[in-house]
Structure formats: C-alpha cells, structure tokens
C-alpha cells in the first residue's frame, strides 16, 4: 500500500511539472507571436522548442550559473571533461545531480518493495556504479570510433595539403565530409578559431577533449611544423602509417586478452550473484553472515579480495601498445 501511494505521488508530481512547463512554453510562444505581429520576426528556436528541451536548457542554465559562481575545482573539471569525452550534453554537476536523484528514487522503490533498507542501499550502489560504467563505456566507444577515423582523416589532410588547400581549409573539409566524432571535434576547432582563439590553443583543447595518444602525436607534429616549417603532408603520411600499425597491433592484443578480461568480470560477478540469489531465495542461509560479527568481517574480507583479484587480472591483461 505504501509503495502504491509513493508511485501515485511521483506520478502526480511529474504531471504537475509537465503542466507547469507547458504553461511556461505557451507564454514564450505568445511573446514570439507578438514579436512576429509587430516586426515580422519569430524566433524559430522558441517556436519549435519542446517542453523537455525547455526543461533541459533551464536546468543547464542553473547549473552553469552555479558553476561560474563557485570556485573552480579539479574534481569538477575532471567530471566536465568526462562528459565531453562521452559526448553527453551535460555538465559534471548535472550528471551528479541526475545520478543522485535516480539513485534516491531507486532506493525508495526497492526499500518499500522489499521492506528492507539494506536491499534499497544495494540497489542504490548498483545504480550509481551503473551510471559511471555507462559513462566510461561511452568514453571508450567514442575514443575507439575516433581512432578508427584517424587514419582516414590524416590521409584526407595530406591529400588536401598536396592539392593546395591550407590547414584551416582542410579542417573545414573534415568537419563537412567525415562522420562524428571526428567531424564534430574539428567543427569545434573551427568555431574556436573563428571566435578568436589561436590555432595552437584550439588544437590543444581538442587534444584534451579526445584523450588519444595517437592524436597527441598528430597535434605535436602540426604545431612543430608551423614553428619550424617542413612538408606537413609527408609528415602526416608517416604518422598515418605508424598509427595504422599501432591500431592493428592493438586489435590483435585485444583479441588475445579478451578471454582474460572476461574471466576477471565473471569471477568478480559470481560471488555477488550467488549472494543475491541466496539472500532472495533463502535469507536464513545467509543470516549468520549478516547478524554476527565474524560474518560481517568475512563479508568485508571477501569483498576486498574480490576487488583485489579483479584489479590484478585487469592489470595483467592491460597491455599498453
């Protein structure tokens, strides 16, 4: 009964929030219509914006303003960089707020459904871990896509330079012809240079956003060539061959170490899965572990050993190329 009332309250809350945002959007459209009546101009962004876009933009403005007012911290910069590398249109503080809100909701639902706060706490921790795993997976996937496009990008740059284009014109061609994330990153470099930032700073910022050792080599070569001169097309061809060989070797290493990586994941998940299974099916079987001091010490020791074992396996199969 308590769970039903909680879900009903949450449903009513979101309905009221939706109606309030709809009213705000309706007022903005009325203002846009008045502007159009007197000047013949109507902002298309205001006219076509949905309720969820208005909510997202408003929340983004609130978090951005709060970030500007507070002191810049290393942890917040790192979270913001993680969001950029994952390709998520969020600030680090926004991601933390969304994760905390979702984790709290999950805790309430599982705690009320099972009538056990320990289960809700476990669900909360799993939800938070899943959020960061999701972000890390997006970062890895985006980086892999960027590195797969890097050889073709360097070939396009070298051929464009031989055809007589400048480096800025070549970046514009890449932003139009290639697919994301390569095109979006070079488009951002073009936008930064248009707004007054130097090419060196724009490329360094792109290097920080991408986080690729191969692209760092490219940026270093481009910046050195601009200072001392030389044939940039030939240099990029040499770097492209080196990067292609590194990608080939990296794929072979990943293939050979895939079994070890999966073994580490399976060995780390088996104790957790068995513990949850016995906790749900036969709670009295795990009662000595949860109610006695020796049992709690054993759980802490087991968790510590599982983490250490998983870290050792990952370290063994993590071969840098």
Q: Using one digit for the tens of pLDDT, what is the confidence trace for 180-210? A: 888 888 888 888 888 888 888 888 888 888 8
Structural domain span for residue 269: 249-321
Looking at the fold, whether 152 and 222 belong to one and the same domain comes out as yes
Q: What pLDDT score does 21 carry?
A: 55
Domain boundary among 45, 70, 95: 70
Domain for residue 128, yes or no?
no
Percent of the chain predicted with pLDDT > 70: 76
**How many structural domains does the chain have?**
3
Looking at the fold, whether 231 and 253 belong to one and the same domain comes out as no
Domain for residue 110, yes or no?
no
What would the pLDDT profile of 254-284 be if each residue is shown by its tens digit? 888 888 888 888 888 888 888 888 877 887 8
Domain for residue 1, yes or no?
yes
- Whole-number mean pLDDT of the chain? 77
- Global pTM reads 0.63
Q: How confident is the model at residue 66 (pLDDT cuts 50, 70, 90)?
A: low
Looking at the fold, whether 243 and 256 belong to one and the same domain comes out as no
Domain boundary among 16, 46, 70: 70
Per-residue pLDDT at 29 exceeds 80:
no
Domain for residue 114, yes or no?
no
Domain boundary among 32, 54, 70: 70
Looking at the fold, whether 269 and 187 belong to one and the same domain comes out as no
Domain for residue 103, yes or no?
no
- Please give, one letter per residue, the 3-state secondary structure of the chain: CHHHHHHHHHHHHHHHHHHHHHHHHHHHHHHHHHHHHHHCCCCHHHHHCCHHHHHHHHHHHHHHHHHHHCCCCHHHHHHHHHHHHHCCCCCHHHHHHHHHHHHHHHHHHHHHHHCCHHHHHHHHHHHHHHHHHHHHHHHHHHHHHHHHHHHHHHHHHHHHHHCCCCHHHHHHHHHHHCCCCHHHHHHHHHHHHHCCCCHHHHHHHHHHHHCCHHHHHHHHHHHHHHHHCCCHHHHHHHHHHHHHHHHHHHHHHHHHHHHHHHHHHHHHHHHHHHHHHHHHHCHHHCHHHHHCHHHHHHHHHHHHHHHHHHHHHHHHHCCCC
Mean pLDDT within 298-317: 86
Q: What pLDDT score does 41 carry?
A: 42
Looking at the fold, whether 268 and 241 belong to one and the same domain comes out as no
Looking at the fold, whether 312 and 294 belong to one and the same domain comes out as yes
């Amino acid at each position: 009964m308590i769970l039903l009332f909680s879900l009903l309250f949450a449903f009513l809350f979101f309905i009221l929030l939706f109606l309030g945002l709809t009213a705000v959007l309706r007022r903005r459209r009325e203002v846009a219509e008045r502007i159009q009546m007197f000047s013949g101009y109507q902002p298309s962004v205001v006219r076509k914006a949905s309720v969820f876009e208005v909510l997202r933009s408003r929340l983004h403005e609130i978090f951005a303003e709060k970030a500007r007012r507070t002191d810049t911290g290393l942890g917040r910069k790192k979270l913001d960089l993680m969001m950029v590398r994952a390709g998520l249109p969020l600030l680090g503080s926004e991601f933390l707020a969304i994760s905390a809100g979702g984790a709290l909701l999950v805790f309430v639902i599982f705690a009320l459904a099972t009538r056990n706060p320990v289960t809700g706490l476990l669900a909360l921790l799993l939800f938070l871990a899943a959020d960061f795993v999701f972000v890390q997976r997006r970062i890895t996937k985006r980086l892999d896509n960027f590195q797969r496009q890097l050889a073709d990008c360097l070939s396009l740059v070298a051929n464009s330079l031989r055809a007589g284009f400048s480096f800025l014109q070549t970046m514009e061609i890449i932003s139009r012809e290639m697919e994301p994330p390569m095109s979006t990153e070079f488009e951002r470099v073009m936008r930064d240079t248009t707004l007054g930032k130097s090419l060196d700073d724009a490329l360094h910022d792109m290097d920080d956003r991408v986080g690729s050792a191969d692209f760092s080599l490219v940026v270093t070569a481009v910046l050195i060539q601009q200072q001392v001169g030389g044939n940039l097309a030939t240099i990029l061809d040499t770097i492209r061959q080196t990067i292609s060989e590194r990608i080939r070797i990296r794929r072979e290493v990943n293939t050979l170490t895939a079994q070890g990586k999966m073994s580490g994941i399976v060995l780390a998940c088996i104790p957790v899965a068995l513990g949850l299974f016995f906790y749900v099916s036969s709670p009295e079987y795990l009662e000595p572990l949860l109610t006695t001091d020796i049992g709690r010490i054993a759980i802490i020791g087991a968790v510590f050993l599982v983490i250490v074992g998983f870290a050792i396996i990952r370290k063994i199969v993590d071969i840098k190329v």
